[in-house]
Amino acid sequence: MTDSQPARAYRPATTLVHGGTVRSNFDETTEALFLTSGFVYANAEQAEATFTGTEQHFQYSRFGNPTVAMLEQRLAQLEGAPACRVTATGMAAVHAAILSHVKAGDRVVASRALFGSCHWIVSTLLPRFGIQTEFVDGADLAGWRAALSRPANLVLLESPSNPMLEIVDLRAVSALAHAAGAIVVVDNVFATPLLQKPIELGADVVVYSLTKHSDGQGRVLGGAVLGSEKWINEVLQPYIRNTGPALSPFNAWLLLKGLETLALRVQAAQNSAGSLAAWLVRQPAVARVWYPTLVDFAQRQLAAAQMQGGGTLVTFELRGGKQAAFSLMNALRLILISNNLGDSKSLVTHPATTTHMRIGAAERAKLGITDGVIRFSVGLEDVEDLREDLAAGLAAIASAALPTPAAAG
Ligand SMILES: *Cc1c(COP(=O)(O)O)cnc(C)c1O
């Protein structure tokens, strides 16, 4: 295999196309798909040398695979992180990043506004193993300061958060966490590696669901963990090597192809998201809109200080609660109802009855997830078609609210 890595770091759009590419003896243009579970050795001595670590040779695809390694290299270069390991799903990445680092008696502090399964790991799974956990309101620095005034081992947070796009001050929380003895793990799915670089802002570990924008075309699941060479190799790698959340080489290959267009896709969807967010603000049926670059977004300055754009998700609240939300969603013809996000197809979800149903009404109230809230993942369709679809959805709320002729009669 020929390592065709550039001598210097390129800009993100270039890295997304070329980063990590290693060509085989056939000199293929595109990254080769090594759909193999195992590898063979020339002789017994080479096998021994591989296992003792004196020779670099692929051993087994649960530990490493050439196609998977190209994806890891590309993601590491894009993030500006020294090392990366990919996993079969985003949740496998979050789970491995946490469980590889903590043990019984440790303390984990997390922002309350987390992706549903991340919330379950912190609230339900970790305490079973004797790990203390505490949630704080991610936007409240005083809350972080109080929680991190005692020793801690790991901080988990999401910024912007799902679905209310709450911004956590990554620089300030990282400093507080480090002073408490904790590493900071940031779930950076909503920002994507293009719009926010948590490691530059002080975080230690960044996790992704590659299912979202990285594939971005609704085909495969995948996850990634990025951090220092030492932490990835000494803490994470033994955990994932022995517990087996390995990504399929086929899915890694699709993700390599997905990444080639990531910058184009995120830019286009973000342009539409910004335009539609500003338009939604002016619609009478809409009570509130959350989008990081909107003039009246409460954490706009913090978002601008740590993000390069508003992203591809818009959250809005309808005045008419659940009934209005369902009327709008059911009237959409182009925008699809799906709990996925970061796709080329625009998707809406009603968090209170789907992704955030299990956490219960009290926890939803703390997070601001009312029955009128809709999460809108903006895709790659023509923005005017999306606007017309939303307008039809909003019109349907108005007509559903009118008395029917019979009732009026
Ligand atoms: C989707 C998602 C995950 C989980 O990723 P999967 O690939 O579905 O396992 C974790 N965090 C956030 C913010 C997500 O959007």
Which atom of ligand 1 lies nearest, measured to the CA of 92?
A: 9
pLDDT at res. 399: 81
Q: Does the Cβ of 215 fall within 6 Å of ligand 1?
A: no
- CA dist 86 and 223 (Å) reads 5
Write the pLDDT tens digit of every residue in 152-169.
999 999 999 999 999 999
Helix axes 321-331, 383-401, angle to 10 degrees: 130
pLDDT at res. 408: 47
Q: pLDDT tens per residue, the chain (409 residues)?
A: 555 555 568 999 999 999 999 999 999 999 999 999 999 999 999 999 999 999 999 999 999 999 999 999 999 999 999 999 999 999 999 999 999 999 999 999 999 999 989 999 999 999 999 999 999 999 999 999 999 999 999 999 999 999 999 999 999 999 999 999 999 999 999 999 999 999 999 999 999 999 999 999 999 999 999 999 999 999 999 999 999 999 999 999 999 999 999 999 999 999 999 999 999 999 999 999 999 999 999 999 999 999 999 999 999 999 999 999 999 999 999 999 999 999 999 999 999 999 999 888 999 999 999 999 999 999 999 999 999 999 999 999 988 776 655 554 4
Q: Find residue 183's DSSP bridge partners.
A: 154
pLDDT at res. 198: 98
- CA dist 298 and 280 (Å) reads 17
pLDDT at res. 268: 98
Position of tokens 């309350």? 112
Write the pLDDT tens digit of every residue in 261-304.
999 999 999 999 999 999 999 999 999 999 999 999 999 999 99
pLDDT at res. 359: 86
Q: Is 165 left (phi over 0), alpha (psi -120 to 50) or beta?
A: left
- Please tell me the residue having the least CA distance from ligand 1 atom 11: 115
Residue type, 295: V
Q: Find residue 317's DSSP bridge partners.
A: 288, 373
Between the two ends of the chain, the Cα-to-Cα distance in Å is 79
- CA dist 289 and 280 (Å) reads 7
The structural domains of the chain, with segments of one domain joined by +, span 9-259, 269-400
pLDDT at res. 6: 53
- Please tell me the residue having the least CA distance from ligand 1 atom 8: 90
Distance (Å) from CA 400 to ligand 1 centroid: 34
Which atom of ligand 1 lies nearest, measured to the CA of 211?
A: 7
**Does the domain at residues 269-400 carry the CATH identifier 3.30.1330.20?**
no
Q: Is 24 helix (H, G, I), strand (E, B) or coil?
A: coil
Q: Which of 98, 112, 117 to mutate to test the pocket of ligand 1 (most atoms within 8 A of CB)?
A: 117
Distance (Å) of CA 277 to CA 136, 164, 372: 28, 14, 16
Q: Please indicate whether the domains covering 9-259 and 269-400 agree at the CATH topology level.
A: no
Q: What is the CATH number of domain 9-259?
A: 3.40.640.10
pLDDT at res. 361: 93
